[in-house]
Structure 1
Amino acid sequence: MNLFTDRKIITVSQLTALVREVLEDNFEHLWVEGEISNLATPSSGHIYFTLKDSGATVRCVMFKSSVRAMKFRMNDGMKILLKARMTVYDQRGDYQLVAEYAEPLGLGALQLAFQQTRDKLAKEGIFDAAHKKTIPALPTTVGIVTSPTGAAIHDILNVIGRRYANLQILIAPTRVQGEGAAAEIAAAISDLNRYARVDVIIVARGGGSIEDLWAFNEEIVARAIYASRLPIISAVGHEVDLTISDLVADLRAPTPSAAAELVVSSKAQMLADCNSLERRLSQSILRHFSDLSSSLEILKLSLKDPGIIIERLMQRLDELNARTEYALTDLLQKYKQRAGIAESSLKLNSPDKRIRELTGRIENLSIRSIAAIRSKLEFTSSSLSTASGRLDALSPLSILHRGYAAVTMKQTGKTVREVTALKPGDAVDVRFLDGIAECEVKSIHCNMPL
């Protein structure tokens, strides 16, 4: 069919389908470079953006399957190179590029992804020294996260076996490169943290390209290392290789062999250090005893005959006795003089007259006090007799004396004031003046006149 010579009427959908067919058949594999703008990342996981240069723009889409394989994150203003195919989006009638692969212009995709992950984690403080844990000096069990068939595990085992063969080793085997390796490494770190006897973990891999080491740059591995309760030594690649795991780990070793040397001291070196400390301690003790012996000899030389010291002390005692006797005699003499002066003064100012006056006053006060006390006692005795008469009149015993009795319940001891408080069979106590009668109620009769 010739659309340009034959008058054939087609629909918009048919036209769009024809255009899409032409574009997809002729532009199946394209490499296009440009600058990203209008970037959108909906929850579906697809990415929508516009690729532009100074003269034109084209809409682009990268579907979720391709996004997963991309190592870096796109941003507005980033210049990229796309591998894409051209198609038409029917609903708008616009042609668009379906991107299958992307890499940034300038820096490589992996290098850019490394920088983006590093900057993100650094802002969260995951690399801060305050979060670093101390590597134990003498671990009993070392956990190792690495490939069970790689060179790294052989290097580590050789070094540990040479330096301290008694050390226990627990290997968590994982893949160390390729799809899914990062998730396995993170899971292995988590598993070792649940094993109570592990003291420290080595995360290791031999050398390789940045692609080979990429699993150790994944964010999932970095967060697993950061969340570990156990200290972790990162030993990935060679000394010139730097990974995100190295930055977040508690200690970085340039190689797996160096990690083994850092985690465990040489047994021979430890024994040599112990022997050296033992020698130094022995020498220190011997020097201390020697110093004590010298001090003792000096004290012996400075110590004199005890007899001479006692004689000097006795002489000193005699001297002090003499001085004391003289001082006491002098003091007694002074007191005698002061007593004589006081006696003369008393004779001149005799207190006999004053004593007689005070004696008379005392006798007068004594007579008056005795009279007042007698009067008070008589008044008190009279009041007491009056109160006693009143108490006798109100006393229950007085009532009993007149021939009455008091009735109380046998069990409770409560006084029975009314016959209605009793019932046949109740046990009661009847108190008379001279004793108590235990009774039992046979019957009750109310309101009987006396």
Structure 2
Amino acid sequence: MSDILTVTKLNSYIKSLIEQDHNLYDIVVEGEISGFRLYPSGHAYFTVKDSQSSIKCVYFRGYHKGNIPKIENGDNVLIYGSIGVYTARGEYQFYVRNLEKSGFGLLARKFEELKAKLKKEGLFEPEHKKKLPDIVNKIGVVSGMQAAGFKDMIKILKGELFDVIIKNSRVQGKEAAGEIVAGIKALNEDGRVDVIIIGRGGGSIEDLWPFNEEIVARAVFESKIPVISAVGHEIDILISDMVADIRAETPTAAAEMLVRQKRELRKRLSDLKRHLIRMLENNLLIRKKELQHFSIRRLSKLLMSVVSEKRYQLINHRRILLSSPKSMLENYRMRLTNASVGLMKTEKTFNELNMKLDDLRQSLQRYMLENLKEKKDTVDRLKMKLNLLSPMNIISKGYSLTTDEKGKLIKDVGQVKKG
């Protein structure tokens, strides 16, 4: 006959069996919470159940340290811990080390697993990130037209005169990931857009989950067109954010980013235009001064050459006039007149070509006119002297041949006697 056991020994034995079973240690149980009570000691007691069974749970203060999620009876939860036996009552119960609302924990683990997988494959590496084009005119948007933040984003983009192509898709629920992928692929096949924005406003992790799906991550990575991921609020970091070429905190932030880039480009182009205009103006001014300097020197040389030539002609004419009879004087006077006319025409031509050089022209004109007047006066005086000395002029006054009584020609007044 076996030994008789006390209740305490029995309960203690059962407790040791349970605690030695590794299958009952460090386990996760999902169920509906009920009867939740937090005692002044800081310990929490509650029951987790499903449609057929229930288990009592205890969450000691030393584990939660006052940081228990906000839960209500009826919420589905995940509890992390192990099975133990309360010897005094002979009851087995779940000793909780961590507690969270059902769904969040599983999704968080799934998120971390996918994140680790894609990171290992290199999908997050900077060398794979495509830069935005310097000039963005046409933007593709993959989002739900009723999604939070969509209308503000479109208003900002169209306000800056961007051309927007919208691929409407669901942004939450089971079908959303596939529709987002289809939108990205369609815009790549179309090939007209310069950049793609995928996004929606904030929400719960379940609402945002399509942007954590692997198929969306790979579609973003494989896109030939740069992708901006603009999902949720600033605190939300999703798989699509990590894979995308650029992350924007919100859809509105994505639109503002593109608007800012366009305005900065417009400003740079405006500054460059002003700089080029200044360079051209300075260059033209330098060339103009060089041309003016060149024109003055060349004109001065040309005018001096003309004046020298005319001076030589006048000297030559003077020499000829002093040694020529009256007929040659008339001929050279005509030539002198023609030369003067030619000189005046030359002056007129230079005046028309050098209106911007009035001071020089006037100075040269005064010099030539004074010179010509002086020479003309000289010529006129010489002409007068020549006329006075000319035998023809004396003859034109009258003459006679006088002889004495013997018929001899009288050549001197001494040959004539008074009376």
TM-score by length of 2: 0.46
TM-score by length of 1: 0.44
